[in-house]
Each structure stands twice: as structure tokens, then as C-alpha cells.
Amino acid sequence: MSTTRFTSPNRNACIQLVIFLAFYIQAVCVAYLTPSGDVSVTIDHAKYSEDGTRVQLERRELFTFNVVSLVYLFLLISAAQHSLQGLHFYLDPWSSKNYRRAFGVNWFRWSDYVITAPTMMVVVGIMNGVFDVVSLMSLFCAIQITIILGVLSDLCATSARARLGDSSADSLPPYDGKEAVRLARANFFVLWAWLIAIGALVLYSRDEDLPTYTTVVAYWIVFYFAIVVWVTRDGGLRLSSTFAKTGEEARKRSRTLFYVAIVPCAYAWTVVFVTFAYALDASEGNPPDFVYSINVVLLVLFLGPFPYVHYASLREQGSDDPAANESLKLRCEAAHAAFGLLSKSALAWMVYWGLRRLQEDVTISTGE
């Protein structure tokens, strides 16, 4: 079977690199143009009297940080992910061959989502008035659990394809050490290019918190390399083989995990909307328009296109036609990239629009 669609840079790599440019330009704009929005993160805890007979609630401010830095963070990580994925496919066909060997599990995308999607949810929560550190941590963890369940469902679908007789990996050449060395060199080049780019942003940005967040990005890139290299050496396929004994069982488990993943996502949005409802009830006026826009746009994207595209890819995996599976996977990956760009860009610019409308730097804090 022909592997042109997987090894040719003209389609996969170019799309990824164009999306990388879109994310990187937006990250630079956010770092330089968006006003600061300082957020006071608090914690509610009990305070006991000296004799232990009285208990009262106390709210303490833990720290203050710039919410714009979170927007910059998920834009920059997404830019890094798409640049790495595009350059891997362009510079080293071995990477794309192993992408097919893993039956379409896109570890580039999942390693991006596991950080950026929870970070986006934290930004949404802050825009709706969630300032308690425990609540923010629960939002982050709930969406991260959703992403991890998505990874597991993809791995089960991978196992189903392997067990139901898809022989598309049989025609691939064996692992070549020389190609691995070439891949490592490409990784080293990309890593240094990103460190230089990050250093330039830190040097010229006016945001004092930026060095902290760019350090997080640098550590994420190193971790990212380790995971992707391990997976492309068939680690992901070996891991997926532990989920089920038969292809049909693996297929059923992939769909079960998909439905289970809806629960933590629904919990996160419930926390956001309950907080928003109490804020409306306690306020004399209405919240800014950009808060409504963020809620509607992100809710539609989180619970609409993303789950549908992922379910469509799971539904057809394991068919007897490898070419159809490959074509479906490519269409789903293109859809994920498009919706990822749309959702992150929309959130970034709605935050920018909201802060700009205030005509000055705004401090978001809690009242006693």
C-alpha cells in the first residue's frame, strides 16, 4: 500500500507549520499588546479559637499573577507542538512511518492537549470569577483527566486495529538506527531554535512574570521530546496491547472511555457556571460582554466539534480497509488542528478584547 500521504511533506508538514506560525504570531502579540490582568488567588479555610470552641471561615490571599501569562503559555506550547510535528514529518520520514506504525495515535497532539486544554479551562474559570485555588486546581485536573481518558480511548482503538487484522504496519521497514540519529539531530536543532525564540521574548517583553512561564515551556519541550521518541519506537503500541485481549473488546473499551471522559469535563463546566450564576445573583449590574462570549464559544467548542471528531475517529477504527482508516485519521487530524487553532485563538483574543475595553490595566480581586 502506498504511504505517500504519510511521508510527503506537502500536506501534513505544511499544514502543521502554517498553524505553528499562526500560534507563534499570536503568542508574540499577546506578550506585547495585551494589558495585564492581575488575579488574586485565594483559599478558604477554617480558623479555630484558642479554646477550640469556635470555628470561623477565613479567606487568605495566596499569591497574585497575571492571567495574560496563561494565555501566552497555551499559545506558545501549541506553537511549539505544531512546529515540532511539522518539522518531524518534513525532516524525517521515519517519524511519519512510525506515526502510521502506531495506527494513527498522534502523540504530538495529545501531549499538547494535556497541558493547554486544562490551562484554557483555568482562564475560563478566572474570567467567570473562580479565584479559589482549590477550585482552580479542580478545573485543571478535571480537564486533564478528560484528556488522559481520550488518550486511553485512542490507545484502545489502536489495539482494536492491530487485533482486527489491519496489516498496514507490516509493510513498514524495520527500525533504523541511522534514521534515529538523524531524528535526534533534528530534535536538537528544533529545541535550540525554541530556546532562542523563548529567550528573545523574555528579553524584550514588558511582562515581569514571563521568565517563570517560559521556563515551564522549556521544561515541557524537553519532556515532550522524551515522550514522543519513546512512543515512536513502538512504545505506544506495546502499551495499547495491555487494554484488551480481543479486537472487539478493545473497540468497546475505547467507546466506553470516550463516554466516561464526558463526566470530568461536565464537572469543570458545572463549577464555572455555578460560580457565574452566584456572581450574577450578587451583582447589581451585568458582567462584561466578553465573559458571555467566552462562555458560549468555548462551551460550544469543548462539547461540540472536539468530541464529535474524536468519536468519529474511534467509530471507524478497526475496519477491514486500512486505506479508509488512514484517510479518516488524516481528516480527523486536520479537523483537530483547525478546531484547536479556532478555540485557542478565540479565547486569547476575547481576553485581549475584554481587557482592552477597560482602557487600563485591571486588577481582579476578591471582596470581603
**Tens digit of pLDDT at every position of the chain (368 positions):** 344 444 344 566 778 788 888 998 888 888 777 777 777 788 777 777 777 677 777 778 777 777 888 888 888 888 888 887 777 666 555 445 545 444 456 777 887 888 888 888 999 988 888 888 888 888 888 888 888 888 878 777 766 655 545 444 444 344 444 544 454 555 555 555 555 665 555 554 555 555 555 555 555 555 555 555 554 444 444 554 555 555 566 677 777 888 888 899 999 999 999 888 888 877 776 777 778 888 888 888 888 888 888 887 776 655 555 566 666 777 777 788 888 889 899 888 888 887 777 655 445 555 55
Name the nearest CA neighbour of 85 among 213, 199, 236, 221: 221
> Which residue type, as a one-letter code, is found at position 344?
K
Provide the pLDDT for residue 89.
Answer: 64
Strands 362-364 and 55-66: unpaired
C-alpha cell at 366: 476578591
Provide the pLDDT for residue 60.
Answer: 80
Confidence (pTM): 0.74
Provide the pLDDT for residue 154.
Answer: 79
Residue 202 to residue 78: CA distance in whole angstroms:
18
Residue 69 to residue 76: CA distance in whole angstroms:
10
Provide the pLDDT for residue 105.
Answer: 67
User: In this structure, are residues 99 and 231 in contact, taking their beta carbons and an 8 Å threshold?
Assistant: no
User: 169-208 burial string, b = 16+ CB within 10 Å, else e?
Assistant: beeeeeeeeebbebbeebbeebbeebeebbeebbeebebe
Provide the pLDDT for residue 66.
Answer: 78
Q: How does DSSP assign 263-277, residue by residue?
A: HHHHHHHHHHHHHHH
All residues at 6 or more sequence positions from 211 whose CB lies less than 8 Å from its CB, including other chains: 202
Provide the pLDDT for residue 180.
Answer: 47
Widest distance between CA atoms in the chain: 79
Residue 158 to residue 244: CA distance in whole angstroms:
11
Reading across the β-sheet that carries 55-66, which strands appear in turn?
A: 55-66, 37-48, 362-364
Q: What are the start-end ranges of the E strands in the chain?
A: 37-48, 55-66, 362-364
> Which residue type, as a one-letter code, is found at position 132?
D
Provide the pLDDT for residue 5.
Answer: 42
C-alpha cell at 120: 484554557
Residue 16 to residue 216: CA distance in whole angstroms:
23
Which residue's C-alpha cell is 495499547? 240
Cα distances (Å, whole numbers) of residue 28 to 15, 36, 148, 307 = 20, 14, 29, 30
Provide the pLDDT for residue 103.
Answer: 46
Burial of 261 (0-12, 13-18, 19+ CB in 10 A): buried
Orientation angle between helical segments 322-357 and 289-303, nearest 10 degrees: 170
Strands 37-48 and 362-364: parallel
C-alpha cell at 27: 503568542
For the stretch 175-183, contacts whose Cβ atoms lie closer than 8 Å and that sit 24 or more positions apart, written own/partner, are 175/233, 175/234, 176/94, 179/92, 179/94, 180/94, 180/233, 182/91, 182/92, 182/94, 183/88, 183/92, 183/94, 183/95, 183/229
**Opening angle at CA 219, ends 83 and 211, nearest 5:** 95
